[in-house]
Amino acid sequence: MPVIVINPNSTEAMTASILAAARRTAPDIRFEGWTSVGGPPAIEGPEDGARAVPPLLELVRKASDAGARAIVIACFDDTGLDEARQLATCPVLGIGQASYVMAELIGGPTAVITTVQAAVPVIEANIDAQGHASHIGTIRAANVPVLLLEDSPAEAAAAFTAAAHQLPPDTVNVIIGCAGAVSVTGHLGDLPGLTVIDGVTAAAKLSRALVG
């Protein structure tokens, strides 16, 4: 059974991009991508996250019952992560948490740039609850809709690049805080001195450590 990557929103194109990135990162691991067709088209804050949880957990239960080796929840807000871990009999990774762990392993002051302002409080709460506040001190929004990352990656990347240029000068890692980051990282402008982290790539690497 493969590692199941679940997109909690209903946008199939985003699932395809996420799955392709996971497979590029860990080609020795078999990944399968599932879309939560009952979820919202995009998750942009706590209300969308709450709507996404029930259909997401149905897919988590289905993947676990089918014998998934691990499950990746591909939403940077780590939507439903705690509930999913209670349901599943296999490891469950959230791409937000995976990126925070990766940044801590690399070391140094880290910033998160997410899509919309409504996501910032959710991410701040997750960072605090997961114990990463000591090394992630800056969380900002690029003020771009989630689906723009899929529909117009160059335009979205320009907004993320501009936001990155405004980060504190001691920042060494920048996390692009959206599953759609896989579509924009190749379009980012020059960011000297910054290591760019996206959660899907981080989760794929950690999946290899868990099941490889």
User: Alpha carbon of 186 to those of 64, 151, 197: distances in Å?
Assistant: 33, 15, 12
pLDDT tens column, 157-200? 999 999 999 999 999 999 999 999 898 888 887 888 899 999 99
| Amino acid (1-letter code) at residue 110 | T
Q: How many CA atoms lie within 13 A of 114 on its CB side?
A: 21
- Cα separation, 51 vs 71, in Å, equals 20
Q: Average pLDDT of 45-63? A: 98
Considering only CA atoms, give the Rg of the chain.
16
User: What is this structure's pTM?
Assistant: 0.95
- Does 47 have pLDDT greater than 90? yes
Strand partners, 196: 174
- Cα separation, 136 vs 171, in Å, equals 9
User: Alpha carbon of 129 to those of 67, 77, 90, 100: distances in Å?
Assistant: 29, 12, 22, 12
- Cα separation, 30 vs 132, in Å, equals 30
Residues 6+ apart with CB under 8 A from 118: 44, 45, 46
Least confident piece of the model among 60-69, 79-88, 144-153, 166-175: 144-153
pLDDT tens column, 189-199? 788 889 999 99
Strands (E), the chain: 3-7, 31-35, 71-73, 92-94, 110-114, 136-141, 173-177, 195-198
pLDDT of residue 192: 87
Helix then strand count (H, E) for the chain reads 8, 8
pLDDT of residue 200: 97
pLDDT of residue 190: 84
Spatial contact of 93 and 207, defined as CB atoms under 8 Å apart: yes
- Does 212 have pLDDT greater than 80? no
Q: Which of 189, 184, 201, 180 is nearest to 14 (CA)?
A: 180
Domains and CATH numbers, the chain: 3-95+202-211 (3.40.50.12500), 96-199 (3.40.50.12500)
